[in-house]
Amino acid sequence: MLREVYPHIYLNEIPLPKSPLKTLNNYIILAEDRALILDTGYDRKICKEALVAGIKEIGLDLKRAELVLTHMHVDHTGLAYFLWQEGCKVYIGEKDGKLLDNYRTSPKEIIKKLSKGFNLHRELEDREIQAYAIAAQEAFPYTSLKEGDCLEVGPYKFEIIDLPGHTPGHIGLYEREHKLFFAGDHILNEITPNIAFWHYKIDSLGNYMESLHKVRQMEIDLVLPAHRSLIRNHRERIDELLDHHEERLKEIKEILRQGRMTVLETAAQMHWDLNSGNWEEFPLTQKWFASGEAMSHLEHLVYKGEVRRLEINGDQYYELI
């Protein structure tokens, strides 16, 4: 059900079946001559029905609407092709647009490569690899956005803010006059955004923490995130997130005091707030995300010169320096 969370800004909670995220916050900013839609949900029937119901409830003509994708993850982009077919112009950050194209054309190859770094490659089979890949969808034309670009809707003028970390090309939308910030998955309440490994040339966690500091300096009264509840005190929440990752780094260094370890061995000893019991009982999907998060922290410590990465007999290890 649609609810107005700020004048002319509506929130539609899209169910995300079988996801610990539970729902996606799909936003519609409505003006007389134009509307912006933010993020979409999966390309699944239940998501599409909820999205369309909200659009119909508000009486929105999609031919005068534009879609902004805060980043390339499938819970945010799954229905982009559908909305484009219905007449929406689509925007996404430049880097994530390219990533989305790459994952669409060769998802299994990318997932296999990442799995080798996580040391999950021996556990995964092709059918499971496909489950981690960005859902296949038809290509759609999009317009790239970069820091400083602006999108105007009615009384609102949204500045594009680059927020690398959760993904390399994640973006947010900042309304300076009204002190509003659409944060995507950059800042979330109740849960912490997953910060995964993307590439050895990218310090995902370092970028994420820099992006948090960047937003902390901004004047914001209301953060509208892509999952869970709205955020009134962004600085307090950012401080909690920064503290969380500093504790993670300390935890990993303590684990490595036992000796050289793979990503998977490190992740298995970390604390995870999940209902799956011990590490051996974790489903592979949870091992995948946990390993990606562990590796982003390990690689951050490599960038800081506190840990070294080694390859031995085809497997990757980390050890304290």
CATH topology of domain 3-254: Metallo-beta-lactamase; Chain A (3.60.15)
Tokens in use for 176? 């300076």
Q: Are strands 222-225 and 180-184 parallel, antiparallel or unpaired?
A: parallel
Distance of CA 246 to the CA centre of its chain: 20
pLDDT for the residue numbered 128: 53
Q: Rounded to an integer, what distance in angstroms lies between the CA atom of residue 6 and that of residue 154?
A: 13
Angle between helices 284-303 and 107-118 (to 10 degrees): 70
Phi, psi at 187, each rounded to 5°: -130, 125
pLDDT(307) > 90: yes
pLDDT(68) > 60: yes
Q: Do the beta carbons of residue 112 and residue 129 sit within 8 Å?
A: yes
pLDDT for the residue numbered 63: 95
Q: For the segment 129-159, what is each residue's pLDDT rounded down to a tens digit?
A: 555 554 556 789 999 999 999 999 999 999 9
pLDDT for the residue numbered 122: 64
Q: Rounded to an integer, what distance in angstroms lies between the CA atom of residue 241 and that of residue 248?
A: 11
Q: For the segment 196-252, what is each residue's pLDDT rounded down to a tens digit?
A: 999 999 999 999 999 999 999 999 999 999 999 999 999 999 999 999 999 999 999
Q: For the segment 88-117, what is each residue's pLDDT rounded down to a tens digit?
A: 999 999 999 999 888 777 766 777 777 777
Domain boundaries, given as residue ranges, for the chain? 3-254
87-96, 117-126, 165-174: least confidently modelled range? 117-126
pLDDT(292) > 60: yes
Q: Do the beta carbons of residue 224 and residue 9 sit within 8 Å?
A: yes
Query: What's the chain's average pLDDT?
Result: 91
Average the pLDDT over 38-43 and give the result. 95
